[in-house]
Amino acid sequence: MEFTEHSIATVDGPRVYVRDYAPQGGPKLPVVCLHGLTRNSADFDEAAPRIAALGRRVLALDARGRGKSDNDSDPSRYRPDVYCGDTIRALDMLGIARAVFLGTSMGGIMTMILATMAPGRIAAAILNDIGPVVDPKGVARIASYVGKSGPFDSWDEMTAAAKAAQGPLFPGRDDAFWRRFVHRVARERADGKVEFAYDPKIATTFATPPSSPPPSMIPLFEALARVPVLVIRGADSDILSRDGLAAMKQIKPDLAVIEVPGIGHAPTLDEPEARTAIEQFLAKVE
């Protein structure tokens, strides 16, 4: 499905890229898709057209330093609160006052932050394998590779590396899955080498361990819990544990939950279980 492309200037300089999928029918509230730490808007290249076919405009953003968005000359600004400010500005420029937010991992954290920064913007939310309680084992795994891989000499070499590193998260997937996976997360450079489609300096966040524990995200989820929320969890996730999910249910007893079997962090949203859950959830949101 075709989409319109936008490049929107942020308040401090870098331009952020947005894919804009027109709704087929409607009008219904649009859906804003926010990707994970090392990913970009291409993560939603199958989910976004399906949602647009339900009669909803879909906007998928590249956070600064990812995909087709500009890198930031100041790596200290690679933070979710800054990305949230960029998101609000992009939505203002595109005339979106209120929407359903679909956030994967970091994008889900952004959604929770936005629930405190701009609560009127969020009509409902879908959190993909993330919650206010994050398993430190998963954080350590992610920190071990962010900004430390590549470039690779070819797409085949990168595909093999991605499969070796992340194969346990997506067991049993065929070669077509891994080729599609790599083309979503990587880009070819002018010299023919292939690299991950993000600024390696986004790893600055993990470079120095914090001197004190990070603030609790429970208040962020409590703010989000005022609206309908669907959580999609990979059954083998090392980011959103079952205990973490239980904590969310204590705060929001009517939380909608779907677990995708045989998947770690995070479901691609192409799985039948995830697709059905998203369609059923959106059917209840005008």
Lowest mean pLDDT among 8-12, 140-144, 153-157: 140-144
Domain spans, the chain: 4-135+216-282
Cis omega (within 30 of 0) on the bond before 151?
yes
Instruction: Count, in order, helices (H) and strands (E) of the chain.
Output: 10, 10
Question: What's the token pair of residue 54?
Answer: 């339900």
pLDDT bin (cut points 50, 70, 90) of residue 90 is very high
Half-sphere exposure of 21 (CA within 13 A, CB side): 30
The mean pLDDT of the chain is 94
With a threshold of 0.85, does the pTM exceed it? Answer: yes
What local confidence, expressed as pLDDT, does residue 204 receive?
A: 85
Task: Please compute the mean of the pLDDT values over residues 89-107 and round it to a whole number.
Answer: 97
Give pLDDT tens digits for 5-39. 999 999 999 999 999 999 988 789 999 999 999 99
Per-position DSSP letters for 21-38, written without gaps between them: EPPSS-----EEEE--TT
What local confidence, expressed as pLDDT, does residue 192 receive?
A: 95
**Bridge partner list, 241:** none
Three-class SS of residue 198? strand
**Residues 264, 238 contacting (CB under 8 angstroms):** yes
pLDDT bin (cut points 50, 70, 90) of residue 143 is confident
- What are the respective helix, strand and coil percentages of the chain, to the nearest 5? 40, 20, 40
Give pLDDT tens digits for 209-226. 665 677 899 999 999 999
pLDDT score of 123 more than 80: yes
What CATH number has the domain spanning 4-135+216-282? 3.40.50.1820
